[in-house]
Structure formats: structure tokens, C-alpha cells
Amino acid sequence: MRITASDVSRAVSGTLIGQDAIAQGCAFDSRTLQPHEAFVAIVGERDGHDFLSDARERGARFALVQRGRSIDQLTCIEVEDTVVALAAMGQMCRAQL
């Protein structure tokens, strides 16, 4: 499924930082991220924001991050809570099926 950063930004009430980008799926583990996927930085036992540079290097098209956590050279969508935003993004994708 192809998703755009601008569509995700609208669906999650986020702020798009950078150029619009198209992803072909998403991942929340930078080790399994495939090129052209979106990365969702989740704070858990480890903080997914610590792996944004890895995601960028692995070819992430854009990332869903908490406000103020964007990095250079990666389109980001800033939100209050990435877990809540991930659920909203899932609803958006399901509605497109």
C-alpha cells in the first residue's frame, strides 16, 4: 500500500516537517525497516527516536515522531503521541482498502 506523508499528517492531525514523500508500508523497528517504508518512532523499553538516523540510512521515506523530535534530511510528521497516531494511521490505511 502506498501512503503519502501529507495524507498521514492530515489523518493524525500532525505537522509535516519537510517535503511530502511516498512510502510503501511502515515499520517501528529500524532493524527490519525496508527502503521506501515509513518509520514510526515509538517510546517503549527503548526510545524509537534514538533510531531515526538508522531509519534514514536504511531508506525510510518519512517518520512519525513526537513533537520536537524531527531530524535533518528526513521528512517527519510531528505528533503528540506516536502510538495514538499509529492507530489513526492504521484506520486511514484500512479505509483505503
pLDDT in tens, the chain (97 residues): 789 999 999 999 999 999 999 999 999 999 999 999 999 999 989 999 999 999 999 999 999 999 999 999 999 999 999 999 989 888 877 776 5
The pLDDT assigned to 97 comes to 58
The pLDDT assigned to 81 comes to 96
User: Domain map of the chain by residue range?
Assistant: 3-96
**Residue-wise DSSP of 40-75:** E--BSSSBGGGGHHHHHHTT-SEEEEETT---TTSE
Give the cell for residue 20: 511530502
3-state secondary structure of 24: coil
Fold that domain 3-96 belongs to in CATH: 3.40.1390
Residue 10 identity (one-letter amino acid)? R
The pLDDT assigned to 90 comes to 80
